[in-house]
A = this chain, B = another copy of it.
Amino acid sequence: MDGSDHLAHERSKAQFDVEKMKIFWAGSLYAFQVSNRIACLVAGDPAFRKENRAVLSRKELFKSTLRKAAHAWKRITELGLSEEEASWLRFYVDELSYAYVHWGMFVPAIKGSGLETTANFDPKTDEFIIHSPTLTSSKWWPGGLGKIATHAVVYARLITDGQDHGVHGFIVQLRSLGDHLPLPGITVGDIGMKFGSGAFNSMDNGFVRFDHVHIPRSQMLMRVSQVTKEGKYVHSNVPRQLVYGAMVYVRQVIVVDASIALSRAVCIAARYSSVRRQFGSQINEISGTGVETQVIDYKTQQSRLFPLLASAYAFRVIGEWLKWLYTDLTQKLEANDFSTLPEAHACTAGLKSLTTSAAADGIEECRKLCGGHGYLSSSGLPELYAVFVPACTYEGDNIVLLLQVARFLMKTISELPSGRNYKLAGTTAYMGDMEHYLIKYCCNVQKTEDWLKPNAILEAFEARAIRMCFSCAQNLTKFADQSEGFSELSTDLVEAAIAHCQLIVVSKFIEKLQQNIEGNGVKQQLETLCYIYALHLIHKNSGDFLSTGSLNPKQASLANDQLRSLYAKWRPNVIALVDAFNYSDHFLGSVLGCYDGNVYPKLYEEACKDPLNDSVVADGYGEYIQPLLNQQS
């Protein structure tokens, strides 16, 4: 390694204060300082190295993850880290394991889709008998269930005296606290290898079956309802809505994860695209130099990479906003005010869907943007994708979530009094302007610069969303059976829900820019990122904007011209903008994305570590291949 910074030239071109942008990305100066300190701690600890993860066998990987989890615990205790610092430490160790989640209390929740598991109350013994009769009712997937968890929360149909009371939660002990062996009647194990090498294979997602397992009555979760000693079923008056509060929380966290996962991929792709040069000989005229062109200077590369960088920032902003939304919601719920719950629920469901789908696709796109080398494990990108993509499926399948958003939107529209403006709260406020957007609205963009007016962007997105939603609502009225109509029109409803969710991201990003943001040039950068995010969506979804008449072809074309011109002007800031994520080389885990851009020696060094290179002649060559060659000659 030559020790020099191969990206120094790129960094010198930045037109803003990178250190201040780091604070914006972190959320606050305090958050930046804590996370930065812990990131350095983890990066400097050899026990947390992760470069060999891809070549380990399943068993070795799992064991090594347990070792790291134990080491993390040890360091947390030794250094007396606060809970916040400890959670940053686990974050930067960057290895999935249930052993990190709840120390001393490994209790995954087993919900599953099969509802055949029953909890039959036996008043004679004051016990529930948990039983899953068929193989399909065995529960799959809970993380940590396979090999680690000692207890689980099991959701099962509660039956008392032959009567079915629906699904309730029960704490069931799975394994002995002494020898860790499964208890009688319990079959538990790991569900097997998953997508990718490394990735989620460090986690023991598990299955479990219950064969008449007896548990004490006290182990029913009795918050919502109770069973008395005599077997009487009693409802408590705890509102069911609290469950939705928890959902809002989990999905809010996933949105933040999406911005982090995408930003890691973008950081790798941006740095490598600046280091990598190609096809100079043909395009010398453009670069004006004798060397090959930096890949990042190709317009096709820019049009794929830059919107992803903008999306990473947009999702970061929306993640922060959702944190606020959750805090606000919690306060309301505690005060027994459930009025904003449906909107908050729809909002987080939709944004979880939107951001995880975009981030997963974006990570793969970043991998492809790195050419052949992106396919190497040492690029870090394959594992990043394999780790993140299940977020599109867990905690609500992304399409199912969009249908929930659509259901909420259709309900909102159906409750609007017809023919006049109406005040609506939160993210559906714009629907109060239904009449304006359906009848009067006409986009007044006439030249490229008009697309730098936040209002022009906002109105176009509002018009598109309202018109798509209203068209669905109208088509629904043609069906006698509402649920049949909803099913028939579900693909249109999904598209309308996406339009609504994209609008939320764009509008909250614009809103954020109304605030004071510190640092030389920082706000200008964020403004450009916001425009790029919005305009690339207009281009990508031009079919929506044109078919609803929210834009005409000329205006859509002007949006694309403005986008092109932003890319060109903004190009010098790209490396500094990914530096602002403040990711250490350890955390990135990518030879292509290393800070100093000294990619090629690192690629070679990583290649040499592959077990296949342990011996000059491969194991099996002499046994299988040599005899064939001898036979032939």
**Central interface residue in A372, A394, A557, A632, by most chain B CB within 10 Å:** A372
Query: In whole angstroms, how far apart are the Cα atoms of A386 and B376 in the complex?
Result: 11
Which residues of the partner chain B approach A367 to less than 8 Å between Cβ atoms? 195
Q: Are A376 and B490 within 8 A (Cβ)?
A: no
Which residues of the partner chain B approach A148 to less than 8 Å between Cβ atoms? 618, 621, 625
Q: Is A543 an interface residue (CB 8 A)?
A: yes
Query: In whole angstroms, how far apart are the Cα atoms of A619 and B403 in the complex?
Result: 43
Interface residues of A in 135-194 (CB under 8 A from B): 135-136, 138, 140-141, 146-148, 177, 179-182, 189-194
Which residues of the partner chain B approach A236 to less than 8 Å between Cβ atoms? none
> Which of B490, B553, B626 contacts A547 (CB under 8 A)?
B553
Query: In whole angstroms, how far apart are the Cα atoms of A55 and B628 in the complex?
Result: 28
| Extra inter-chain contacts (6) besides given A58-B612, A63-B620, A191-B610, CB under 8 Å | A138-B604, A193-B378, A197-B201, A300-B490, A364-B364, A372-B390
- Known contacts A193-B55, A278-B113, A393-B371; is-contact A625 B303 (Cβ 8 Å): no
Which B-chain residue is minimally distant from A59 (CB atoms)?
B611
> Which of B193, B304, B612 contacts A376 (CB under 8 A)?
B193
Q: Is A234 an interface residue (CB 8 A)?
A: no
Q: List 27 A-B contacts (CB under 8 A).
A: A55-B58, A66-B618, A67-B620, A69-B625, A70-B624, A73-B628, A99-B625, A135-B600, A135-B604, A136-B600, A140-B603, A141-B372, A180-B617, A189-B610, A190-B613, A192-B607, A193-B610, A195-B367, A195-B375, A204-B612, A285-B484, A299-B489, A300-B399, A491-B564, A541-B543, A546-B547, A549-B553
Q: Are B604 and A207 within 8 A (Cβ)?
A: yes
Can you list, as one digit per residue, whether each of A350-371 has a CB less than 8 Å from chain B (1) or not (0)?
A: 0000000000000010011001
Q: Is A30 an interface residue (CB 8 A)?
A: no
A residues with CB within 8 A of B: 54-60, 62-64, 66-67, 69-70, 73, 99, 103-104, 113, 135-136, 138, 140-141, 146-148, 177, 179-182, 189-197, 200-201, 204, 207, 278, 282-283, 285-286, 298-300, 303-304, 364, 367-368, 371-378, 382, 386, 389-390, 392-394, 397, 399, 403, 481, 483-484, 487-491, 494, 539, 541-543, 545-549, 553, 556-557, 564, 600-601, 603-604, 606-614, 616-629, 632-633
A606 → chain B closest CB, angstroms: 6
Q: Are A488 and B62 within 8 A (Cβ)?
A: no
Which residues of the partner chain B approach A64 to less than 8 Å between Cβ atoms? 620
Which residues of the partner chain B approach A58 to less than 8 Å between Cβ atoms? 55, 610-612
A487 → chain B closest CB, angstroms: 6
Query: In whole angstroms, how far apart are the Cα atoms of A201 and B612 in the complex?
Result: 10
A17 → chain B closest CB, angstroms: 31
Which residues of the partner chain B approach A611 to less than 8 Å between Cβ atoms? 57-59
Which residues of the partner chain B approach A618 to less than 8 Å between Cβ atoms? 62-63, 66, 147-148, 204
Query: In whole angstroms, how far apart are the Cα atoms of A303 and B494 in the complex?
Result: 11
Q: Are A298 and B487 within 8 A (Cβ)?
A: yes
Q: Are A140 and B62 within 8 A (Cβ)?
A: no
Which residues of the partner chain B approach A374 to less than 8 Å between Cβ atoms? 393
> Which of B99, B483, B491, B627 contacts A300 (CB under 8 A)?
B491
A622 → chain B closest CB, angstroms: 8
Query: In whole angstroms, how far apart are the Cα atoms of A202 and B621 in the complex?
Result: 13
- Known contacts A99-B625, A181-B617; is-contact A192 B372 (Cβ 8 Å): no
Which residues of the partner chain B approach A136 to less than 8 Å between Cβ atoms? 600
Q: Are B628 and A70 within 8 A (Cβ)?
A: yes
Q: Are A147 and B612 within 8 A (Cβ)?
A: yes
A356 → chain B closest CB, angstroms: 11
> Which of B193, B378, B626 contacts A197 (CB under 8 A)?
B193
Which residues of the partner chain B approach A375 to less than 8 Å between Cβ atoms? 194-195, 200, 389-390, 393
Q: Are A191 and B607 within 8 A (Cβ)?
A: yes
Nearest 7 A/B pairs, CB to CB: A542-B543, A63-B620, A147-B618, A70-B624, A193-B377, A195-B382, A543-B543
Which residues of the partner chain B approach A632 to less than 8 Å between Cβ atoms? 103-104
A68 → chain B closest CB, angstroms: 9
Query: In whole angstroms, how far apart are the Cα atoms of A69 and B179 in the complex?
Result: 45
Which residues of the partner chain B approach A192 to less than 8 Å between Cβ atoms? 376-378, 606-607, 609-610
Which residues of the partner chain B approach A54 to less than 8 Å between Cβ atoms? 193
Which residues of the partner chain B approach A180 to less than 8 Å between Cβ atoms? 617, 621-622, 626
Which B-chain residue is minimally distant from A549 (CB atoms)?
B553
Query: In whole angstroms, how far apart are the Cα atoms of A34 and B178 in the complex?
Result: 60
> Which of B182, B195, B286, B491 contacts A299 (CB under 8 A)?
B491
A145 → chain B closest CB, angstroms: 12
Which residues of the partner chain B approach A278 to less than 8 Å between Cβ atoms? 113
> Which of B56, B70, B191, B490 contacts A625 (CB under 8 A)?
B70
